[in-house]
Amino acid sequence: MRLISYSHQRQHGVGVMVNMDGFVALPLVAPELPRTMRGLLEMEGGLEKAIAAAKDKPVDLCIGEVHLDPVVTDPQAIWCLALNYKLHIEETGLTTSPKYPQIFLRMPCTQVGHGEPIVCPDPSVAVKYEYEGELAVIIGKGGRHIPVEKALDHVAGYSCYNEGSVREYQGHNRQFGLGKNFEQSGSFGPWLMTADEFGDPSKKRVITRVNGIERQNATTDLMVFDVPHLINYLSQGYYLRPGDVIVTGSPGSLPPHKGETPPANSGGVYVAGMVQMKPGDICEVEIPDLGILSNPVAADAPATYQTKLYTPSL
Amino acid sequence: MRLISYSHQRQHGVGVMVNMDGFVALPLVAPELPRTMRGLLEMEGGLEKAIAAAKDKPVDLCIGEVHLDPVVTDPQAIWCLALNYKLHIEETGLTTSPKYPQIFLRMPCTQVGHGEPIVCPDPSVAVKYEYEGELAVIIGKGGRHIPVEKALDHVAGYSCYNEGSVREYQGHNRQFGLGKNFEQSGSFGPWLMTADEFGDPSKKRVITRVNGIERQNATTDLMVFDVPHLINYLSQGYYLRPGDVIVTGSPGSLPPHKGETPPANSGGVYVAGMVQMKPGDICEVEIPDLGILSNPVAADAPATYQTKLYTPSL
């Protein structure tokens, strides 16, 4: 099954997809259930109740009629992986421990859902705004010290993630900090595909396209630390909570296509096949069988003092 | 004024301190106001309304009768500083950019309030569980591209922070990740002191004690990046939100006291005057004039597979 988080007429809800476009709105068919994905996952048997409530019901709404929110709007943690694919380690020339995963964090408020604009910084702030197409894991059952062999029992489902990064700020100092948490720089969607339907997370492919042109294409068996080992590692120190997200790292880049001139090397980490996102672009992250997360790229507001939150429209 | 976040009889609320122990409970005197510190800060004039509602009211409850929560229970971001005091840079031997602050993130669910137990990992997991006494800044008015000279207008108040760190995990790889986000490893309190009462954040002292023995004692004018510059930097990429927290970094350690034998150097970053926290210890972070954040240290549950969240009692 596939479940979405959506907003419609200023109400948030979770929907159960019936086909590629239409969904059953849980606030209509099961108003007693929690209104958020995290709420459903925190409830004992919540996901199963949601799916049962939607069974054989007609379509209430279509994706095109609503705003899609990030799959989990309010996770208590978004654990992200740096340098978790060999090719990405090689192409960046960066070093990383072979023994332990490299972990940093994103804030929920820096991400948007499928179809919503992601935001390219004003050129006076930064120009190296880059995609990272990744497999996202959504925790269902909480746990601590989770053995590798039990780890997948704690997964509710999977989704696509565009871990959009502002390279100048990421490289300002040793910790990535702000460069991985620019305003509306990432996206998470389109839906949660339940673990039973998705199958083995080590046998998938992740593809990233900008304006239809493929820029990343790799299989998840190339992860340095696979999903069960990541769950085991994080749970050594932290009680993994329902709704928590693990964003499993970016694969390497494809080389520039025939006839393309790679961008000039302006210093910092340079990858010839990496293309910067610009306002007007469309960036897609596809995991075949799961779906496509697609976002238009919008320009940020000018870099002037603002006391109201800027929300881009296209 | 000083405001607390507290829990009492399974209800959360914000209180306005009347003296060092008693407070006016806003849920009783102003039930129409938001129940959380972030809610109050997000409301136009919310903090002023809270203070006005408590004016000349008698004490409803005392701190000893309630649980104190982290000052902001649900901030949208906790921005933390690495290596923001010269002595701390020197004593660790680590390098950091002199041009840009070094930023990482903590998750709200890894912190507790004043008086609640902080949790020392099971020795089979890690033994280097260390304090970092810091000044915390709480954002009041949201903003983007905030000029340095306007930055303090965006601060609602200040508090103490114990940025408890698990050094083995912090050192596993380049990003601090999990080592700064162990379960219940940090604390934040006892209260928010409003900016008008606190005064200039560059003219304060931060003191850390373990079992009454001073281990850190430094003045905030020694920060490499001061509060206005931190606010300016973060707001270049991110809309700083009401309730967001900036934890301004750990000062260096005092040398070992006379007669003390420094712990053996077991590898990694070694600081002779740094003492590891153990179950049964009391760790205090004091900012004179603001107050003291005190936490007992409890032992974590044994490192065995658990599917329920462990909450230590003393």
CATH number at residue A168: 3.90.850.10
Q: Please write the tens of the pLDDT for every residue from A295-313.
A: 999 999 999 999 999 988 7
* Containing structural domain, residue B57: 2-68
Question: What's the pLDDT band for A314 if we cut at 50, 70, 90?
Answer: low
Q: Are A150 and A276 found together in one domain?
A: yes
Q: What is the pLDDT of residue B264?
A: 81
What is the H or E stretch that residue A210 is in? strand A205-210
Q: What is the DSSP letter of B196?
A: H
Comparing alpha-carbon positions, the chain A residue that sits nearest to B151 is A305
Q: Please write the tens of the pLDDT for every residue from B60-80.
A: 999 999 999 999 999 999 999
Q: Are B203 and B230 found together in one domain?
A: yes
Region of A112 (left: φ > 0; alpha: ψ -120 to 50; beta: rest) is: beta
Asked if A250 and A134 count as a contact pair (C-beta separation under 8 A), the reply is: yes
Q: Which of B82, B109, B182 sits opposite A175 (nearest CB)?
A: B82
Question: What's the pLDDT band for A255 if we cut at 50, 70, 90?
Answer: very high
Q: Is the CB of A179 inside 8 Å of chain B's CB atoms?
A: yes
Question: What's the pLDDT band for B141 if we cut at 50, 70, 90?
Answer: very high
Q: Is the CB of B175 inside 8 Å of chain A's CB atoms?
A: yes
**Are the Cβ atoms of A239 and B142 closer than 8 angstroms?**
no
Among B68, B88, B119, identify where a domain stops.
Answer: B68
Q: What is the pLDDT of residue B314?
A: 67
**Are the Cβ atoms of A173 and B306 closer than 8 angstroms?**
no
Q: Is the CB of A191 inside 8 Å of chain B's CB atoms?
A: no
Answer whether residue A235 is part of any domain: yes
**Are the Cβ atoms of B102 and A173 closer than 8 angstroms?**
yes
Answer whether residue A308 is part of any domain: no
B6: which strand partners?
Answer: B13, B68
Q: Is the CB of B269 inside 8 Å of chain A's CB atoms?
A: no
Q: Are A42 and A89 found together in one domain?
A: no
Q: Which of A173, A182, A237 sits opposite B237 (nearest CB)?
A: A182
Q: Is the CB of B55 inside 8 Å of chain A's CB atoms?
A: no
Q: Are A107 and A47 found together in one domain?
A: no
For testing contact with chain B, the best of A76, A112, A175 (most B CBs within 10 A):
A175
Distance from CA of A181 to the nearest CA of B (A): 7
Degrees (nearest 5) of the Cα angle B86, B90, B93? Answer: 135
Answer whether residue A219 is part of any domain: yes
- Pick from A14-18, A34-38, A167-171, A270-274: least confident: A270-274
For residue A237, the SS3 value is: helix
Q: Are B57 and B87 found together in one domain?
A: no
pLDDT of B1 > 90? The answer is yes
Report the amino acid identity of residue B57. K
Q: Please write the tens of the pLDDT for every residue from A181-201.
A: 999 999 999 999 999 999 999
**Are the Cβ atoms of A177 and B238 closer than 8 angstroms?**
no
Answer whether residue B306 is part of any domain: no
Q: Are A134 and A182 found together in one domain?
A: yes
Q: Are B120 and B8 found together in one domain?
A: no
Among B12, B42, B68, identify where a domain stops.
Answer: B68
- Pick from A88-92, B37-41, B159-163, B222-226: least confident: A88-92
Question: What's the pLDDT band for B265 if we cut at 50, 70, 90?
Answer: confident
| Beta pairing class for B186-194 and B111-112 | parallel
**Across B214-225, average pLDDT:** 97
Q: Are B51 and B146 found together in one domain?
A: no
Q: Which of B126, B175, B306 sits opposite A103 (nearest CB)?
A: B175
Q: Is the CB of A183 inside 8 Å of chain B's CB atoms?
A: yes
Distance from CA of A233 to the nearest CA of B (A): 9
Q: Are B200 and B240 found together in one domain?
A: yes
Among B20, B47, B68, identify where a domain stops.
Answer: B68
DSSP string, A8-60: ETTEEEEEEESSSSEEEEHHHH-TTS-SSHHHHHHSTTHHHHHHHHHTTPPP-
Answer whether residue B310 is part of any domain: no
Phi, psi of A309, deg, nearest 5: -70, 125
**Are the Cβ atoms of B82 and A144 closer than 8 angstroms?**
no
Percentage of chain B modeled with pLDDT above 90? 95
Q: How far is CA B136 from the centre of its chain?
A: 6
Q: Are B295 and B210 found together in one domain?
A: yes
Flag whether the ipTM exceeds 0.95: yes
pLDDT of B132 > 90? The answer is yes
Which residues on A lie below 8 Å from B146 (Cβ)? 305
Q: Are B85 and B61 found together in one domain?
A: no
Q: How many distinct structural domains can be found in chain B?
A: 2
Distance from CA of B107 to the nearest CA of A (A): 6
Q: Are B46 and B174 found together in one domain?
A: no
Written as six digits, the tokens of B71 are 């000052």
Answer whether residue A305 is part of any domain: no
In B85-104, the residues whose Cβ lies within 8 Å of chain A are 95-97, 99-104
Question: What's the pLDDT band for B267 if we cut at 50, 70, 90?
Answer: confident
């329920």: which residue's tokens?
Answer: B308
